[in-house]
Amino acid sequence: AQSVTQPDIHITVSEGASLELRCNYSYGATPYLFWYVQSPGQGLQLLLKYFSGDTLVQGIKGFEAEFKRSQSSFNLRKPSVHWSDAAEYFCAVGENSGYALNFGKGTSLLVTP
């Protein structure tokens, strides 16, 4: 069955430190891959997406993600975290023949001073 796994429920990082959020998927074909961010009380905002081509994708707010087919992963990274990055992050997977996105359960990011 198709699935999306975000292994880390909560992550705490210090402001200025680097960040990596993990996402693993189980799909038959090459999927469409997304990272969304949700601030408290808000809807989901697209950070970045991968459809094809260069496996390193740049997004908004200084985020990037790398698609690794051999590891079925699409991890999100940021070199230096800001306090405003504290939020819930969701990885999602879709297919061009599919009907909707399949979301992971999210990773909650806490940023400490």
Rounded to the nearest whole angstrom, what is the least distance from the CB of residue 59 to other proteins in the complex? 12
Out of 14, 17, 46, 71, the only residue in the binding site for other proteins (CB under 8 A) is: 46
Contact segment (CB under 8 A) with other proteins among 18-26, 62-70, 73-81, 104-112 equals 104-112
Rounded to the nearest whole angstrom, what is the least distance from the CB of residue 80 to other proteins in the complex? 26
Residue 70 in contact with other proteins, rule: CB under 8 A:
no
Task: Assign residue 106 a region (left: φ > 0; alpha: ψ between -120 and 50; beta: otherwise).
Answer: left
Residue 22 in contact with other proteins, rule: CB under 8 A:
no
Residue 63 dihedral angles phi and psi, to the nearest 5°? -85, 155
Which among 89, 95, 76 has a CA at the least distance from the CA of 32? 95
Task: Assign residue 7 a region (left: φ > 0; alpha: ψ between -120 and 50; beta: otherwise).
Answer: alpha
Binding site for other proteins (CB under 8 A): 32, 34, 36, 41-46, 49, 90, 92, 94-101, 103-106
